[in-house]
Copies of this chain bind each other. A is one copy, B any other.
Amino acid sequence: MLTSVSVQTLQRLPVYLNLLKSECMQQAVYVSSKTIAESLGLHEIQVRKDLASVSSGGKPKVGFSKITLIRDLETYLGYNDSNDAILVGAGKLGKALLAYDGFKEYGLNIVAAFDNDESLAGQKEGNVPILSLSKMNDICDRMKIRIGIITVPSPAAQSICDQMVASGILAVWNFAPAHLDVPEHILVKNENMAASLAVLSRHLMDKFTD
C-alpha cells in the first residue's frame, strides 16, 4: 500500500472520509468496502482498491476498523499537519471562504488575506486579517506560505498568480474563471464552476430532447 494514487482516487478519498465521520456511520465500529460503496453509489471493488492504497488495516471477514480507517485517510490527506495559506481578493467570495470555519478540518489554515482595495486593509473577516497587497510577498516569505487562494476577478488572476509564484507559493487554488500559466513545478487547481454548470445545463438539455 501507499503506492502512488491516481487523481481520481485521491479525489474520492475525502468523500469516504466524510461518510465515515457522518451521522449515518455513527454507531459503526467496523466498515466494509461494500457498505461504503452502497452508501455512495460506487462500485465495491473501486472502493476496496482506493482504500487499499491508503490503509493496510483491512481484515478479511470484518472489514476496516472505522477509527483506524479515518485516521489513515486523515494522515494520507494531510489533515493532521495543517497547511498555512493566504488568500487574495477579499470580495464576496473571498470573504465567504475566509468566514468558512470548515477548512481547518481539512488542515487548511488561511493566515492572511490581501486586497487591492486599500480601504479594506486592517479589517478582519472570520478572524483573518485583510492586508494591503503590497505586504503579500513579505508575509509569504516570512511564514513560508505554500498555498495561495485566488478569488479576484478574472482579468487580475494571472498577475496575482505571478506574484504568488514569485513569493514562493507552490500550489494555487484558483476560483477565478481564467486559465493560469505557471512554471512546471507549480500546481494550479481550478475550482471550475463554469464546468460544473456545463454538466448541469447539458443534463437538462439532454433530458428535454429525448
Number of contacting residues on A, CB 8 A? 61
Q: A106-B194, A177-B102 are in contact. Are A78 and B154 (CB under 8 A)?
A: no
Q: A83-B204, A95-B92, A191-B191 are in contact. Are A18 and B197 (CB under 8 A)?
A: no
Say whether A139 faces chain B, with CB atoms less than 8 Å apart.
Answer: no
Chain B residue contacts of A177, Cβ below 8 A: 14, 18, 102
Most buried by B among A18, A99, A195, A197: A197
10 contacts between A and B (CB under 8 A): A18-B178, A92-B96, A106-B201, A107-B197, A107-B201, A108-B201, A146-B204, A173-B196, A187-B200, A191-B196
Identify 9 new A-B residue pairs, CB closer than 8 A, beyond the known A7-B199, A78-B202, A173-B196: A10-B199, A14-B198, A18-B178, A22-B154, A77-B202, A83-B204, A95-B96, A173-B200, A189-B200
